[in-house]
Amino acid sequence: MPEAHDERPIKPTQIVRSSLPRIEYGRSKRGDVAYYAALVAASVLSWLVALLPDPLVNTVARLAGWISFMTSRGFRDNVASNLSHIYDVPKSDPRVRHSVRGAFRTNALNIVDLLRVPHLVEEDYAKRLKVVPGSWEILEEAVAARKGAILITAHLGPFDLVGSALRTRGYPLSALTARTTNRMVFHGITFLRSSHDMRVIEASSGGLRDIIRLLQRGEMVILLSDRDFFLSGRDAIFFGEPTTLPIGAVRLARDTGAPIIPFFAHREGRRTRMTVRPPISVRCSDNRNADIADALKVVAMELEQAIGEAPDQWVLFQRVWPDDHSDPD
């Protein structure tokens, strides 16, 4: 079995490949200095991570994750609140605190993985990924059907790495994204996600029209579906407690006839396990609300199963439930 990383330092004669997007000056409508600063910073950091040995970069990332855990009180409290719902225990439970530290560590490793993405090719992903049998076949069948496909995932494990691996493999793939950080960080992340010609579409009315056109052409789109960021979702029972979940994937599937395909990433030591789940078909009857509600239940169960396997890898730093978990009776 191949190792997850080539731990040897890069030799001076070794050529580092890169698919970093070009920084096209003059494209920003506002001439935003922060926009260009974000892209330049992302490029420099990406090259730095690519040229340094993986063990050194990963060690620094883990240290940064620990520092972030110690200093980010608000985010730490949000993660603890989310994990207490999953474990069905108070936030003060030792299991919650241990998993919160794990989430911060995973997030730091995810960041360096995203910085590595522009310099990886298909052979590199083959070393880093452990693909659950049947996963590629599910995606190949979706491509052959030419009905498009809506790939849903969660902020779980190295989700950006796996999304990039799919694009590098040649799937006609775009990603729908929403800004959940400050604008400068968002620009940098979007720039890195655009590597390997990945089309990244910001959530908006125009972006939604683009997504529909892509699905109608038989292409695939990725949506993160584990939090209702815009507070416009539907009521759902998630890990046994009420909250709201986004319905974008379900609505698109119902309106276009494209299947929903859940896929998830889990860190397993130095490798990443990628799982692609069987497609979900969304009914299109006269009762639109019932169609959406029924499909959302299935989506919630898929998310629960994947997140429940590794709660300490769920890197969601905003609260999913409106209230803290009540102490179990």
In this prediction, residue 14 carries a pLDDT of 45
Enter the pTM of the model: 0.89
Reported in sequence order, the residue ranges of 59-148 that DSSP labels E, i.e. its strands, are 129-131
pLDDT of residue 254: 96
Q: How far is CA 18 from CA 2, 15, 195, 213, 251, in A?
A: 23, 10, 9, 30, 37
Q: Which pLDDT belongs to residue 323?
A: 82
Q: What is the pLDDT of residue 25?
A: 67
DSSP 17: P
Residue count (the chain): 329
Give the helix/strand (H/E) hosting 111: helix 94-116
pLDDT at 327: 54
> Computed over its alpha carbons, how large is the radius of gyration of the chain?
20
Which residues of the chain, if any, have pLDDT below 70? 1-17, 25-31, 326-329
Helix 248-256 and helix 288-309: axis angle, to 10°? 130
How far is the C-alpha of 302 from the C-alpha of 238, rounded, in Å? 10
CA neighbours closer than 13 Å in the CB half-sphere of residue 139? 25
Could you tell me if residue 142 is left (phi over 0), alpha (psi between -120 and 50 degrees) or otherwise beta?
alpha
CB atoms closer than 10 angstroms to residue 208: 15
Q: Please report the pLDDT score of residue 16 as a whole number.
A: 55
